[in-house]
Amino acid sequence: MPRKQRHTAQRIHDRLVTETDYDGEWRYVRRWRQANRTPSDGYAELEWAPGTARVDFGVARAEIAGEWVEDHCLVVTFPHSDMRYVASMPGENAECLCHGLLSVFGHVGGVPPVLVLGNATGAGRRDAKGHVTLATVFDAFLSRHRIEARFRNPYSGNEKGNVENAVGFLRRSLMVPPLEAGSHG
């Protein structure tokens, strides 16, 4: 059976209730399923260095000041502690990136020494060879706060997991139903 078509514990419980006279609780089925599942292939556990923050933008529809707009959500994750923060921004330029990072750092109460950015949007420009030229505003922001910026390879899927998952999770959790706000600030 393909992995995506296998029965979940919830589906097993639902079928037991409808097809038999089972009246047990779902948690017992879940425990049985965990104890009897086939072992998966091995995988490498990712470890994240403390003090590293990953940054990316996501887009979601929202009603801001009575108008439906594409809301740009700046998502900052701290993978070592698995903390996620989001800031609503009107765009993905350097000013919005710096303002969003400042609001997240103010909430956290500190500044991480390393930022790993998803792409060069807002931070600068990536040329054909992959070299990133920082925007003047963002470069000054990094210098002021003594932050090292790293840019991940857009063609390497293994570098994208944590913050990309956070973008999707926060969009599904916070932006459904779409938010209504008087302004971005």
| Residue 75 and residue 158 in one domain | yes
Angstrom distance (rounded) from CA 130 to CA 120: 10
- pTM (global) more than 0.85: no
pLDDT value for 87? 86
* Bridge partners for 150 per DSSP: 116
* Bridge partners for 115 per DSSP: 53, 149
**Tens-digit pLDDT string for the chain (185 aa):** 455 557 778 888 988 999 998 888 989 999 988 888 877 766 666 677 788 888 888 888 888 888 888 888 888 888 888 788 888 888 888 898 899 999 999 998 999 998 888 776 777 777 777 777 888 898 999 999 999 888 876 555 555 566 666 776 766 666 666 777 777 66
Question: What domain range is 177 assigned to?
Answer: 52-181
Residue ranges of alpha helices (H) inside the chain are 9-19, 26-35, 94-108, 136-145, 161-174
pLDDT value for 143? 92
| Residue 120 and residue 164 in one domain | yes
Angstrom distance (rounded) from CA 98 to CA 139: 10
Domain presence at residue 40: no
| Residue 82 and residue 146 in one domain | yes
Q: How many domains does the chain have?
A: 2
Neighbours of 16 (CB within 10 A): 15
